[in-house]
Structure 1
Amino acid sequence: MNHKQSHFNRRTVLRTAAGLSVGGLAGCLNGSGETGDGTTTPNDDSDEQGILRQVAVEGTELVVELGSAADVDQLNLIQPNGELFGSREVAAGVRQVSFEIGTAYDPGEYRILAVHGEETVAETSVEIRPQLEIVAVGLFRNNPDKPWDAVYGESETNRIQNAEACVSVHNSGTGPDAAVSLQFSGDIPNPIEDPRNSGLYDADKVTIPPSETRDLFSSSLPFGAHVGNDGMGCIVEKNTGEFSVLVGSRVFAKKISERFTVEYSGSDVMRDCSITINRR
């Protein structure tokens, strides 16, 4: 796995080696406490003179805040496997340093080492691990407030909007992730095992930062007018069934899934049909 890292000169490598060798002794010098969700809490010192004041994941970056009196030359970020993820030189007066994590990293506990000269003067750790959850499936007829026209383009008939779906995915973890595929199976009009463009409309991936929710828009027409041999569609009385939504996680290189119940009624024409979807 490739990570974007700063250029290392001989002095940088020497500092890194020194930091790793004394890392076990640096814990007592840490000015921050780790919380259960993997972020760190600010130092309780009112003069803000702790060395590592706060460490938190913001978007796709790991942001380190230094205390006002911190005398640090360099910060090293260590991966869960013990290897160096990246290093940042700290210029005089700088109080915030960021590492770009992206969405192609190994989840787990990361260590941050603050180095001055040849010694590690502070160390803390943070758990960076995403957790995606599919929370809802929306249709144009039921959720007109979603940006359907902005995604698919304006249309007098709304044919495409009525055939596609919007899937809301929440990241309850402590690290960023990216949804890289979207698939529907089960009792829908148009189940496709291998949709084009991985099932995402006009996107290779959708980044989902920790504690945030993003909408994924489909490209496979899962609720299209044509009902395939394995699909379920609308009738005047009632059709009920279940379907699954599968979303690919880039960090874990696997798919998460969620099941939903669905009810079709009121018409045998798809565009006029009432469709009710609920999470199981």
Structure 2
Amino acid sequence: MTNKQKTIHRRTALGSILAGIIAGLAGCTSSGDGGDDRSADGAGDVIQSVDVDGLELVIELERDTIDQFNVVDPSGELFAKRAIESGVSHTTIEVGTDYPPGEYELLGLNDDEPVETTTVTLEPDLELTELRLAREYPEEMYEGASDSQIDAEAILSVTNQGTGPTAVTALRFEGDVPFPTHESYDENNESGIYDPENDFGADADSITIPADETVLVYSNSLPFLPVNVQTKCNSIGRDGRFTVHLSTTHNIANITLEYLIHYLSADSEDCVIEIEETA
């Protein structure tokens, strides 16, 4: 899925060189009638479109009009530059998941002179939208999940409603969940997230969440371990509370969900759990 956003400014007179940026990253002043400010659905003459696709900026250009393309980050530092060869109408810029959020300036230049500029905002907006017990949705677990993993793990839906990608780096369960995340996970810098690329069940370093997408994230710390359910049932009685917390490569606050957990005991040797999100 791509996230298209662009504000194109066709400048008719060149202004002063941008302070703090390398030679050739010059600003342009607008024409007397306010210039040609295009909407997100418009297109520039030279920089024809800018899309956020996964971890990249994808830029479509008019052929043979510029020989260099620069990207300047929100602090005014050069983020990336590309030489544009004759006949080229497409280029990409790797954004990754650890970029500074904010407005980026994209400049097309020819012989070090600005031809056209556009801005694009890269800013993730992450939300933990749903938590489900894997045992209740075994068909949605990752391929190769064992019965013990299905019984003990959780499936989380994580949505990025922002304009730039990010990555989840840690998953923690706190409170009256059967098996809260142990403090050793923080001490050893373990994410507590299943790595779908690892055949040995190791923790993932991170899970990428592209802009405008929802990604399933799987716990890897056994928060609903069945052997602990009976113990909790006996110790806290019927009802409890727990919190799920995500950490990311960007400082996004309040990526949490709070849940009620009900321990339902039919007899002294049988206890089942139900969860519900708090209002």
Per the TM superposition, whether the score is higher than 0.5 is yes
Distance (whole Å) between structure 1 residues aligned to residue 35 and residue 93 of structure 2? 19
- Structure (1 or 2) with the greater strand fraction: 2
Determine the structure 2 residue equivalent to 1:59. 54
Matches within 5 A, 1:67-146: 67=62, 71-146=65-140
Structure 2 unaligned regions, length at least 5: 1-20, 195-201
Tell me by how many angstroms 1:233 deviates. 3.5
Determine the structure 1 residue equivalent to 2:213. 212
TM-score normalised to the size of structure 2?
A: 0.77
Determine the structure 2 residue equivalent to 1:257. 256
Matches within 5 A, 1:150-229: 150=143, 152=145, 154=146, 158-194=147-183, 196=185, 197-201=190-194, 202=202, 203-227=204-228
Quickly say closer, same or farther: Cα 1:124–1:107, change in 2 above 3 A. Answer: same
Matched residues, percent identical?
33
Tell me by how many angstroms 1:162 deviates. 0.7
Paired letter, 1:88: R
Give yes or no for contact 2:259–2:277 (8 Å, CA) kept in 1: yes
Following TM superposition, the consecutive aligned residue runs of length 4 or more in structure 1 with deviations greater than 6 angstroms are 26-32, 268-272
Quickly say closer, same or farther: Cα 1:256–1:271, change in 2 above 3 A. Answer: farther
Give yes or no for contact 1:264–1:276 (8 Å, CA) kept in 2: no
Determine the structure 1 residue equivalent to 2:28. 24
Distance (whole Å) between structure 1 residues aligned to residue 87 and residue 266 of structure 2? 68
Secondary structure of 2:205's aligned partner: coil
Paired letter, 2:138: P
Give yes or no for contact 1:164–1:217 (8 Å, CA) kept in 2: yes
Distance (whole Å) between structure 1 residues aligned to residue 117 and residue 58 of structure 2? 14
Give yes or no for contact 1:185–1:245 (8 Å, CA) kept in 2: yes
Tell me by how many angstroms 1:24 deviates. 3.5
The question of 1:242 aligning with 2:241 is answered yes
Paired letter, 1:66: L
Tell me by how many angstroms 1:241 deviates. 2.6
How many pairs does the alignment contain? 244
Paired letter, 1:227: N
Distance (whole Å) between structure 1 residues aligned to residue 213 and residue 270 of structure 2? 32
Distance (whole Å) between structure 2 residues aligned to residue 89 and residue 217 of structure 1? 41
Tell me by how many angstroms 1:256 deviates. 2.4
Tell me by how many angstroms 1:182 deviates. 0.4
Paired letter, 2:249: R
The question of 1:41 aligning with 2:38 is answered no
Secondary structure of 2:226's aligned partner: coil
Quickly say closer, same or farther: Cα 1:277–1:82, change in 2 above 3 A. Answer: same
Secondary structure of 2:149's aligned partner: helix
Secondary structure of 1:141's aligned partner: helix
Determine the structure 2 residue equivalent to 1:46. none
Quickly say closer, same or farther: Cα 1:165–1:30, change in 2 above 3 A. Answer: farther
Paired letter, 2:192: G
Distance (whole Å) between structure 2 residues aligned to residue 163 and residue 19 of structure 1? 57
Distance (whole Å) between structure 2 residues aligned to residue 29 and residue 270 of structure 1? 76
Distance (whole Å) between structure 1 residues aligned to residue 223 and residue 255 of structure 2? 18
Paired letter, 1:218: S
Paired letter, 1:216: V
Distance (whole Å) between structure 2 residues aligned to residue 276 and residue 265 of structure 1? 11
CA RMSD of aligned residues (A): 3.0
